[in-house]
């Protein structure tokens, strides 16, 4: 029995040992969103300050422990007055809830590749389960010897689920701001054991 537990422990250790810690390179990554405006058009924006880390085994493509933090006051739609409103208590209330977070709980694989990432998303102090569609785009070694990988992720959320309920009715019908928000992440990450 003792040898059995030693075997299980060694398998777990060696499996874990292959996983590399990665940190997202924010200079080569983006967190973007789009939402309907005036029913017939869309507003696009991004968050300029964010961070993320995760464990990834390049050989087996096992993905674990994904954590994303986004600074609410870094929201940017290229319109200062609108951004000020989005940071206010009408929407994100960045002074009271300065950080948006995502923490993964499960990775779903398809053909041994990570395809969906389930987790808990916190916005405006409200935490809800969400699922991200993900695509691993491969890994390379940069000219300085650092291992880098790239990925895409996207999801859709209902902003009202997170307490973002402000809106204004239009005379022609409909509302000023749509409820569905599409979130897209273009990511490049570098192994934590970087060489530079």
Q: What is the pLDDT of residue 167?
A: 52
Name the average pLDDT for the chain.
83
Contact 30, 46 (CB under 8 A): yes
**Superfamily in which the 19-191 domain is placed by CATH:** Lipid/polyisoprenoid-binding, YceI-like (2.40.128.110)
CA-CA distance, 30 to 48, in Å (whole number)?
Answer: 8
Q: What is the pLDDT of residue 30?
A: 96
- The per-residue pLDDT for range 128-145, each reduced to its tens digit, is 999 999 999 999 999 989
- The per-residue pLDDT for range 142-191, each reduced to its tens digit, is 998 999 999 999 999 998 999 877 554 434 443 346 677 999 999 999 99
Q: What is the pLDDT of residue 19?
A: 75
Domain ranges of the chain: 19-191
Structure tokens that stand for 174 in this block = 């409909």
DSSP classification of residue 5: H
Q: Which of 113, 196, 186 is nearest to 147 (CA)?
A: 196
Residue entry with tokens 């973002």: 164
φ/ψ (deg, to 5) at 135: -135, 115
């Amino acid at each position: 029995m003792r040898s059995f537990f030693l075997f299980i422990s060694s398998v777990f250790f060696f499996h874990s040992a292959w996983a590399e810690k990665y940190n997202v390179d924010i200079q080569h990554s983006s967190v973007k969103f789009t939402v309907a405006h005036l029913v017939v058009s869309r507003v696009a924006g991004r968050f300029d300050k964010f961070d993320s880390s995760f464990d990834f085994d390049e050989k087996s493509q096992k993905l674990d422990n994904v954590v994303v933090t986004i600074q609410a006051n870094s929201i940017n739609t290229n319109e200062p007055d609108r951004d000020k409103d989005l940071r206010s208590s009408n929407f994100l209330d960045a002074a009271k809830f300065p950080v948006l977070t995502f923490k993964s709980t499960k990775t779903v694989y398809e053909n041994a590749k990570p395809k969906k990432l389930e987790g808990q998303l916190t916005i405006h102090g409200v935490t809800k389960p969400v699922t991200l569609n993900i695509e691993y785009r491969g890994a390379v070694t940069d000219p300085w010897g650092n291992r880098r990988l790239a990925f895409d992720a996207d999801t859709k959320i209902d902003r009202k689920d997170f307490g973002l309920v402000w809106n204004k009715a239009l005379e022609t019908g409909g509302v000023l701001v749509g409820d569905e928000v599409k979130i897209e992440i273009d990511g490049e990450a570098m192994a934590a054991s970087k060489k530079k």
